[in-house]
Every structure is written in structure tokens, then in C-alpha cells.
A = this chain, B = another copy of it.
Amino acid sequence: MLTLASDFGSPYPAAMRGVLCQRTDARLVDVAHDFPRQDVRAAAFWLRETLPYFPPATHLVVVDPGVGTDRSAIVVRTGEHALVGPNNGVLRPPARRLAGDGPIETYVIDETRLDPVEPTSGPSADADILGTDASGDGDGGPTSNTFHGRDVFAPAAAAVHDAPLSTLDDLAFLAPAESVVELELPTATVDAADDRAHGDVLVVDDFGNVITNVPGGYLDGRERIRANGDTVPVGETFAAVPVGDRLATVGSHGYVELDVNQGRGDDAFGLAAGDEVVLEPTSGR
């Protein structure tokens, strides 16, 4: 199984699917292609929360604001999962979650040793275009500087999928990585003295639910909390409050969410990804 995730929107994922179908018989499953554009942190969060629900697979991830720079392309192996993507940190939070207490091995991709991606067609009537060196690097190769999803990550993922995970070292285009870009999602702190939680909005989901990094346990035993100054009820479900009302609840990722029953929490709380959140007990408890 090979999963695909990107911030490409459409139709760029199709070219990746084409290359993958050319190279491997792997079953393809889309995770998402509309991650917030060029937002490495948001993608890392969603992948960390989603990939562990999949059976062992190769996960192709392309959220890559540095495409074409000297950032390297890497393969991460942990347990029976492999992740393929840019070395910009996006693979680290999901890899750590998948690894648990197990090891994480990281390899760097040598693009020049990948079997080059070529369209399947014969010589083109538009040969003036196809014949240009799209890479602009004078070597006449087909690798573009702007679409490594198609030209680098897809062929690498196909090869990784088809290789035994125990022998990734044997793939000619892989070598152990010497440096890996780290990414840590921010964590919340709870002040024992005043029982205040200081956290961040990790992401806002498509429903408008504001997903913080405050562990859900903070809500245990509370009927109300103050969120950035506003008092809202704590509910086990959205339906604990009337339609249109705000609440704090424990979301499906285990964190405190600030939501509106059948409405948008981000609008109602005035919060966006990256914003700070302070939760505190209400005086009346």
C-alpha cells in the first residue's frame, strides 16, 4: 500500500499517480491533497494523527516550500512503515508517532541515481517543448526544479514500496542521512500554581474546529473553562450545547478543541492556526 499526501490541490497529484502506476502495482490511497499550502507544521500534525490508522505502508508526502533548493529528499523507515518526502521536518512528527519506542532510520535520496521519469508517449509533435531542458541545469535531464513530487518523490516511493523494508540500504539511490531537519510541534504547559494551560492552536479543521495542543485531560471534571478570557461550557459532545453555541471538548485527537455545535469555532473564538490559547478555571468552578 502506498499513501499520497500533498498540498498540491489539483491536478498535480494525477501526474504523481501516473508515475506511481508506471512503476509499481501498489495499491494507492489518498490521504489528502489539500493540506494548507506550504504549511509544514499543519501537514506534520495531520499526518501524525492519520498515518497510524493505516496498515504498514509507504507514505509519499509532498509539502515542500523549498522545492528546488538544496534541501535534500529523504526516506524514513520505522517499523513496517516508510515515509518519503522532503527533509524539512514534515516527516518527523508522523515518524515519531509511528515509531513509538522503536528506532527511526533515515536515508537521503540521490536524485541522480533514480531511474528518470519520462512520459510514456513517443516523440512529441511538440518536441520543441519536450526537447528543452526543463531543469535549466544544462544536463538535458527531465527533472524539473519545481515538481519533485512527480520527478523525484514518486519514483523513489515506488522503488521503496517494492523493496523489502529490511534492505533499503541496497537501493542504489539511498544512503544513510547525515543530517535530518527536525520539527517539533509545540506543546502546552499547565501551571500547577494557578491551573492555567498555556498552549497553541495547532490547526483549524474543515469544520472550523479549533484544535489546540492542550491535552484533553485538562477538561477532566470541569463544567466550564475560560478560553482566552471567555467562559464556555465543557461538553463531551458538540450536542452538549444548543446549535450555534460554543463549547470546549476533547477532540478525536485527544486534545482540547474549541468548537461550535454545528458551526465554526474559529470564527466564534476568533482563533487561527498558530494563535496562543490560555485556558483557565472559572472562579465559580
A binding-site residues for B, Cβ under 8 Å? 1, 3, 5, 8-12, 14-15, 17-19, 21-22, 28-35, 37-38, 46, 49-56, 65-69, 79, 96-102, 117, 119-126, 128-130, 132-137, 144-147, 150-151, 205-207, 215-217, 219-220, 236-240, 249-255, 257, 262
Name A122's contact: one of B51, B102, B123 (CB within 8 Å): B102
Q: For A252, list chain B residues within 8 Å (CB).
A: 134, 144, 146-147, 150-151
Whole-angstrom CA separation of A68 from B29 in the bound complex: 28
Is B254 within 8 A of A129, CB to CB?
yes
Report the nearest B residue to A261, measured CB to CB: B65
Q: For A120, list chain B residues within 8 Å (CB).
A: 52-56, 98
Given contacts A53-B19, A100-B125, A250-B145, contact A137 B206 (CB under 8 A): no
Q: For A123, list chain B residues within 8 Å (CB).
A: 100-101
Q: For A19, list chain B residues within 8 Å (CB).
A: 53
Is A51 within 8 A of B146, CB to CB?
no
A213 → chain B, closest Cβ, in Å?
9
Is B65 within 8 A of A262, CB to CB?
yes
Q: For A129, list chain B residues within 8 Å (CB).
A: 215-216, 253-255
Q: For A97, list chain B residues within 8 Å (CB).
A: 119, 121, 124-126
Report the nearest B residue to A43, measured CB to CB: B11
A138 → chain B, closest Cβ, in Å?
9
Q: For A145, list chain B residues within 8 Å (CB).
A: 236-237, 249-250
A142 → chain B, closest Cβ, in Å?
9
Q: For A255, list chain B residues within 8 Å (CB).
A: 129
Whole-angstrom CA separation of A111 from B178 in the bound complex: 48
Is B134 within 8 A of A55, CB to CB?
no
A137 → chain B, closest Cβ, in Å?
7
User: Known pairs A10-B32, A11-B35, A15-B50. 11 more at Cβ < 8 A?
Assistant: A9-B206, A10-B34, A10-B206, A11-B46, A53-B119, A100-B122, A128-B217, A133-B216, A134-B251, A137-B236, A151-B252
Name A205's contact: one of B12, B22, B38 (CB within 8 Å): B12
27 A-B residue pairs with CB within 8 Å = A5-B11, A8-B206, A9-B207, A10-B33, A14-B53, A17-B54, A18-B51, A66-B239, A68-B236, A97-B119, A99-B121, A100-B121, A100-B124, A129-B255, A132-B217, A133-B217, A134-B251, A135-B236, A136-B216, A136-B220, A136-B236, A136-B249, A144-B252, A145-B237, A145-B249, A146-B252, A147-B251
